[in-house]
Amino acid sequence: MYIAWGFFDKIPDDGSISYASLAASINGDEALVRRFGQLLVATGKLKRPQPDHVAHSRLSPTFKSGNRDAAHFTMMCDEFQKAYQAFPGFFEKYGPHEPKGESEVPFCFPDGVDGKLTYWELILQRGQENVERFGRAMQGLQTHAWPYTGIYDFSWVAEYAKENSDRPLILDIGGGYGQMIRAVLEETPAIPRNRCYLEDRAEVIESVTKQSANDPILKDVQKVVTNFHKEQPVKGALIYLIRRCIHDYTDDDCVNVLKILADALRADEPRARVLINDQINTEDPTPFVAAYDVLMMTCASLERSEKQFENLAKRAGLEVVKIHKKEGTSLGVVECKKAGT
């Protein structure tokens, strides 16, 4: 509720604010604000420097409005906790089997739209504000859990661009608000920005096009409305990059997505690649990966192992060249080429 009421924005960066002032800002009861505040103080989320006052802790600025990690936190609470709590009813209805398909999933079950809407259609139904929060949430945890760079070296693309002046270079597929392609271009500024592409659904592209109009990097990146379950509109690119999307779908759906990308690769370009940037599961996963695997179950998907990625690639007409990893993160890059090239 302190996030919903905007209290973390109202607490000064230096100093403190009284419960009375916070309550007055929403025309609410001071006693109610104090009771929630006491819990946050007791658990270390806020500090109490003097009676009836709260101040920021080391972590609490994370919960200010617009913060990506805050969006991730609230999405977990609002969207996925309902799905977890619905597990008993869902499995009573569908039996003790892994969820299958796009709509008969735990994510949709609490709203009574299982079998009617996909999880993304349900997010859309909840309004544009919810869509934008989802976009911010997908940018959360990037500095430590899901880094954009440091796993795969894109520097060779800049050299390739000098020798091949007319070919699309990097397509960021399902790239949301462009956070991944931005990081790549910041790390390797010699890659021509106007030969890189950001692809996503129409409502996302519309939003990011407006937001990036004055962005020194993203303004030059081509924005393309794409449904990656259907035909790829940009053929013959050097790299088709898909980050943290494959884990959203069933094996059959993923094979379809990857086959579309495999078909888009030029057969006469042995350096052309499909890069799958996703978490790599193991037999003994970390608590973080294991928890995310259960989260993905709510959408009938999973966090996959190296072997499972290899099987997907093979079914899609791709061949795994190398799986790139970085110490300290469960995220990896599965580097694929067109089979037989």
Give the ranges where the chain is alpha helix by DSSP (H).
7-10, 19-25, 30-42, 68-75, 81-85, 87-94, 119-125, 128-137, 155-163, 179-187, 202-211, 251-264, 287-297, 306-315
Active-site option among 56, 72, 247, 324: 247
d(CA 332, CA 320): 13
Give the separation between CA 207 and CA 47, rounded to whole angstroms.
37
144 noted as active-site residue: no
The residue assigned the tokens 């790390």 is 187
Separation of first and last alpha carbons in the chain: 56
Alpha helix positions (H), 164-250: 179-187, 202-211
Burial class (CB within 10 angstroms; exposed 0-12, middle 13-18, buried 19+) of 308: middle
Total Cβ atoms within 10 A of residue 36: 16
Contact 290, 114 (CB under 8 A): no
Nearest to 161 by CA among 199, 198, 189: 189
Phi, psi of 149 (to 5 degrees): -125, 175
CB of 334 closer than 8 Å to CB of 309: yes
Token pair 């759906």 in the structure block, residue: 253
The SS3 assignment for 196 reads strand
Which residues are identified as catalytic? 247
